[in-house]
Structure 1
Amino acid sequence: MTRAHTPPAVELIAVTKTYGAGEQAVIALHELDVSFPAGTFTAVMGPSGSGKSTLLHCAAGLDRATSGDVIIDGIPIGGLSERALTKLRRSRVGFVFQAFNLIGALTAAQNVALPLRLAGRSPAPGEVTAMLGEVGLADRAGHRPSELSGGQQQRVAIARALVTRPAVLFADEPTGALDARSGREVLRLLRAAVDHHDQTIVMVTHDPLAAAHADRVLFLADGRVVDSLAGPAGVQEIAVRTARLEEARAGVAS
């Protein structure tokens, strides 16, 4: 499928994010221009402090840029009120975090249904069960998080993030708390969401193996995109690029 005329799912135009003021100011993102095409999987990598999490938070509307424009699904979010921004996030943005962030008192099915209810609609008959079925957990619908393994909890979190069919899903180290086997399953599900449902995914990761599942890898340093790889990229090449950034950072620090 060609997407030559399809607007990006998310676009950042000259985005700068500064924390603090005066001599204590820290520039986390520096006039960043980056777009995330619809129906693609992008991995974002870089040394600690490079701006990865800030990029994710600004692109998702969790944090406001100091300057520049962030456009989600064709909507510039800079001028939105907090209420309007929250409404946009609930309907057009999905999130998967390292810590799962499931609600312990709710069943898997209730956790998955939560974004729909927060958006003001009741799930259609069978909608939640079908979503759990997509992540292989239809038979765990009545289980609470404490009754599920870490990998199963993350799969519930993925189902919850995808149930609204968002314009973009942001994943922050989604395999960081998982064993290798569970991590591979989570990455397989994310890849399948892109390949079979045209989902747009932006994933922050430090793991070259995880990044190798993406269509594109962006490397950040000092709040800028300093390198990129078009996928599918090999794990070794990603690891080499990552090591170069770490070496450059260590050289500057010394």
Structure 2
Amino acid sequence: MDIVRLTAVSKTYGTGPGAVTALDEVSLELAEGSFTAVMGASGSGKSTLLQCAAGLERPTSGAVSLAGKDLARLRESALTRLRRETIGFVFQSYNLLPALTAEQNVGLPLRLAGRRPDARAVRAALEAVGLGDRARHRPAELSGGQQQRVAIARALVAAPRVLFADEPTGALDSTASRTVLRNLRTLVADRGQTIVMVTHDPLAAAYTDRMAFPADGRLTGTLEHPDAMTVATRLSTIETREAAAC
């Protein structure tokens, strides 16, 4: 089952001669329980693709469906509810509150939604990212990679069907990046979690099921069961084509 589907999605910012087309008729299907990475140069449209897929941006044209629902047919209140109940977000910046412990940070979105955090669910989310023994630690007592894993646990605590991650390893060193990527891979393998990740790191390819390559707002292709060398070669080819077109 495709849990996320984009059909001929275009997104234009502005009007007239100064209009910028961030996405140009992009179609992409993402299966439930898969780990997909979106990789491209700055300005390729990868972050806009993620935002449209997650319902954070409404496309100028085309259709986006999430968990079988056509987002264009939803009012803003229904779209907000769908995002809250169906998806989780992880960003490059961890956005943890320094005065709160790891378990308090994980439970915070539930409190903000007016729900009492379930201690067992919070602990299970931390254990899922290998931080069950760091529940009482504050962010200053955790490494950058551990803080990012707390941010992932925070996104998981509400049991989202899809986890969207925008450059989740961008601020980490290579060792911490590998740990975070291994955690994401384990979530897919052990829990059937669906993950869609924007990244610039070819080494991330080894942890994913599929890579998608946008360039200049268009999807140039996908790669199944990628490896770092193949991804690096594909990116080099795309960059050469872009340079030749300029």
Same fold (TM over 0.5): yes
TM-aligned CA deviation for residue 173 of structure 1: 1.1
Distance 1:125 1:44 in 2: 34
Give the gaps of 5 or more residues in structure 1: 1-5
Match of 2:232 in 1: 239
TM-aligned CA deviation for residue 202 of structure 1: 0.6
Residue 7 of structure 2: SS of its match in structure 1?
strand
Distance 1:101 1:29 in 2: 28
Match of 2:197 in 1: 203
Residue 207 of structure 2: SS of its match in structure 1?
coil
Q: Which amino acid aligns with 2:5?
A: E
What per-residue deviation string (whole Å, max 9, x for no partner) do you get for residues 126-156 of structure 1?
2111211121212221222222110010000
Distance 1:124 1:26 in 2: 45
* 2:73 aligned with 1:79: yes
Match of 2:85 in 1: 91
* 2:64 aligned with 1:70: yes
When normalised by structure 2's length, the TM-score is 0.95
Give the gaps of 5 or more residues in structure 2: none
Distance 1:18 1:114 in 2: 35
Distance 1:175 1:148 in 2: 16
Match of 1:37 in 2: 31
2:177 equivalent among 158, 178, 183 = 183
* 2:122 aligned with 1:134: no
When normalised by structure 1's length, the TM-score is 0.92
TM-aligned CA deviation for residue 168 of structure 1: 0.7
Distance 1:93 1:118 in 2: 16
**Contact 2:86-2:160 at 8 Å conserved across structures:** yes
TM-aligned CA deviation for residue 122 of structure 1: 2.2
Identical positions, percent: 60
**Contact 2:64-2:72 at 8 Å conserved across structures:** yes
Alignment length, in residue pairs? 246
What per-residue deviation string (whole Å, max 9, x for no partner) do you get for residues 35-92 of structure 1?
1100001111112211000000111111111111111111111232332222211111
* 2:157 aligned with 1:163: yes
Match of 1:250 in 2: 243
Q: Which amino acid aligns with 1:245?
A: I
Match of 2:147 in 1: 153
TM-aligned CA deviation for residue 107 of structure 1: 1.9
Match of 2:100 in 1: 106
Match of 1:20 in 2: 14
Match of 1:219 in 2: 213
1:193 equivalent among 162, 187, 192 = 187
1:11 equivalent among 5, 12, 18 = 5
What per-residue deviation string (whole Å, max 9, x for no partner) do you get for residues 75-120 of structure 1?
1112323322222111111111111122233221111112333444
CA RMSD of aligned residues (A): 1.4
**Contact 2:205-2:227 at 8 Å conserved across structures:** no
Match of 1:61 in 2: 55
TM-aligned CA deviation for residue 244 of structure 1: 0.9
Distance 2:113 2:74 in 1: 17
Residue 78 of structure 1: SS of its match in structure 2?
helix
* 2:104 aligned with 1:144: no
